[in-house]
Structure 1
């Protein structure tokens, strides 16, 4: 396995431990907020598994059946993960409403608080490791995974704070209210993640800042060509696909034009190291025509 796969597998191991811990303590204490957190962490575990599988598949080179590579596997996994978050949110709200209608006292609240804090610390450390690798590899699946782990940190701390209030005040209705707030939060965050994961499946263009950066690189060579047009970009997993038409002076030799294209491609790839660039060269006569 490569470095990205190893780190994805680390998140699988850490999530498995945290889920088991929260689930046992949630059932032991009867806290719907802790059980909700266990459900949330279970989806984080599933997301980690999806990320682990997808980064291994997307990292495969292009082949006969997949000439553009396997990058979109990561976008598919990121979209699936967000849908899972929505399912979890609905499930959590249902359980919390039931608990509001049929309140029960929480057993061993101090133990529940301790478990939430331990889970938050573990996921914070692992999320930092995963995020660093996600940025290095420009992996949407790993970014999604890091995001899931970080939301688990926030929600665990929120549940811990709420359980402390229950412990101090004796207001047991706070437990399901915290669970509902948690569900709404993760569903809102899922929408943000979906906006990043899903558009590449429809070949949406890169964002404006990225396109401007690419165009600025191309225009550094504007003295060597006459114009560019039909500029297009798209993303598939960690890969960017860039193509444009470039009109060049008719007197330029094939060797000169080829060298120009190589230099432009190298400069773009220095900023976008997983980019695939296609330059369609047109002679000056076509521009005049």
Structure 2
């Protein structure tokens, strides 16, 4: 096991255990206080626990190398798990909103609201520590799953602050603040679920990589002095792996061994820019493309070679 893979396994386990701890503490205090905004936070932490468990299992599966039955690897495990997660979160958000509306129509006073405030400060501190660790691991490993999880927990910090504001307002007499700000957090959870689902579908349907990434690939390919151009660029993401495929346009009279060497050099340049990329390059004679010289001219105009 590489050092990066070991880090990924540790951070995904830490994320799950943290969410489980917060769920346990918040469930007890919500039962005592009856706070709607704390219930929203409990729901959010519950979704975090499920999401972290899914990511823990999916990352472990996605890290498995390609085999005879999965020649492109196991990366699709991540978006598939994320899609299931988003559906579950959305359903839970709807359930919570119905509960909050019922509490709005039938108000109930908070009990032991100082307990709720204490647990939210505890949650805020624990989440800050976790996000710091996640960002360190994401920078070191380049894992998109951990980076996304860190972003999700970072947004939890904002929701924790909103809930703290609601609890303080309720403590000082504005009892409806607990419900209204709890509703706001519930709507945000639902929106986040839709965003997670959209991103997961993009990966499952092999959506093209962003235009800025495509432009970076173009620059790298055209930088090689013996490349005339390229065509049929196809890209998609599968979990942690970027798949890049293209046809490389080379001089008609190059020996096969020389054409192979150039293709390998371009492949290596792409992998240096995208360490988790799987690159597939086909070589073809430049005469097969009438606009190849134009491709090469464009690269020269950008100063790529």
1:151 to 145, 155, 162: 155
Partner of 1:266: 268
Report the TM-score when normalising by structure 1: 0.93
Residues 77 and 141, structure 1, Cα contact 8 Å, conserved in 2: no
Deviations, residues 179-215 of structure 1 (Å, cap 9, x unaligned): 1100112222333333333201101111001110011
Q: How far apart, CA to CA, are the structure 1 residues paired with 2:69 and 2:241? A: 18
Deviations, residues 83-116 of structure 1 (Å, cap 9, x unaligned): 2321222122111111111111101111111111
Report the TM-score when normalising by structure 2: 0.89
Partner of 2:298: none
SS in 2 for 1:60: coil
Residues 144 and 193, structure 1, Cα contact 8 Å, conserved in 2: no
Query: How many residue pairs were aligned?
Result: 286
Partner of 2:76: 72
Partner of 2:53: 49
Give ranges in structure 2 of 5+ residues lacking alignment: 291-305
1:204 to 203, 207, 211: 207
Q: How far apart, CA to CA, are the structure 1 residues paired with 2:181 and 2:115? A: 17
Partner of 2:196: 193
Q: How far apart, CA to CA, are the structure 2 residues paired with 1:217 and 1:49? A: 38
Residues 1:175 and 2:139 are matched in the alignment = no
Residues 229 and 246, structure 1, Cα contact 8 Å, conserved in 2: yes
Residues 50 and 77, structure 1, Cα contact 8 Å, conserved in 2: yes
State the Cα distance separating 1:34 from its structure 2 match.
Answer: 0.9
State the Cα distance separating 1:285 from its structure 2 match.
Answer: 4.8
Q: How far apart, CA to CA, are the structure 2 residues paired with 1:197 and 1:130? A: 20
Give ranges in structure 1 of 5+ residues lacking alignment: none
Write the mapping of 1:223-234 to structure 2, written as runs, cut at 5 A.
Answer: 223-234=225-236
Residues 229 and 244, structure 1, Cα contact 8 Å, conserved in 2: yes
Moved more, 208-217 or 26-35: 26-35
Partner of 2:111: 107
Deviations, residues 13-67 of structure 1 (Å, cap 9, x unaligned): 1111111111100101111211221111011001010010000000000011101
2:217 to 199, 214, 219: 214
Partner of 2:27: 23
Deviations, residues 202-255 of structure 1 (Å, cap 9, x unaligned): 01111001110011000102x413331111111101111111112221221112
